[in-house]
Structures are given as C-alpha cells and as structure tokens.
Amino acid sequence: MRVVMVVRDNTEYTREAMEWVKDFTYETGNEVEIFDPETISGEIFASAHDVVRYPAVLVVDSDSKTIAKWMGELPQFDEVTYVMRNV
C-alpha cells in the first residue's frame, strides 16, 4: 500500500497540504507520493483515479488500484493508517 497526494502548486491549500504530508510521514513513518495535476504524470494519475477535487489523498495498492480516497479535505492520519492496515 502507498499513500498518494494530488495537490496543485501555489494554491490556498498547498501549504496546509505540504504540512500534512510532513506530519503524516513523521507520525506514521510512511512516505507520501505527491503529484501535481498540472504536470503530465500528475494529470495521468488524477485521470486514472478519478480525482476531481484537490487536495486529494489516496491509498493505492501495488496494482495501482484505489483502495480509499479523500478529496477536497485532508483526512485524519488514523483514517489513512486504518485503511492501510485493514485492507
């Protein structure tokens, strides 16, 4: 399982999203992949996973299947880690 965030750069929520990533990594030891939908790879990822609001946090399995997704709001750390442990 991996955690991925899709976030646009230089928006009103970018700083909060980057702080969430830093704190999540510190608290859980799990790295967060970051995609900007303004880039080609970010656009491909967002399209493939039906991300339509930002910031978005996804838990993705090894086959790149979306297990859980939060869009428009940042989830609590325990919500994300619960999904990672119990799926």
For the chain, give the DSSP string.
-EEEEE--SSSTTHHHHHHHHHHHHHHH---EEEE-TTSHHHHHHHHHTT--SSSEEEEE-TT--EEEEEESSPPPHHHHHHHHHH-
Work out the mean pLDDT of the chain and round it to a whole number.
96
What confidence tens digit (pLDDT) does each residue in 40-52 have?
A: 999 999 999 999 9
Residue appearing with tokens 């399209």 = 47
Task: Write down the pLDDT at residue 43.
Answer: 97
Which homologous superfamily does the CATH classification assign to the domain defined by 2-86? Glutaredoxin (3.40.30.10)
**Nearest alpha-carbon partner for 49 in 60, 34, 38:** 60
Per-residue model confidence as pLDDT tens digits over 57-79: 999 999 999 999 999 999 999 99
d(C-alpha 13, C-alpha 3), whole Å: 18
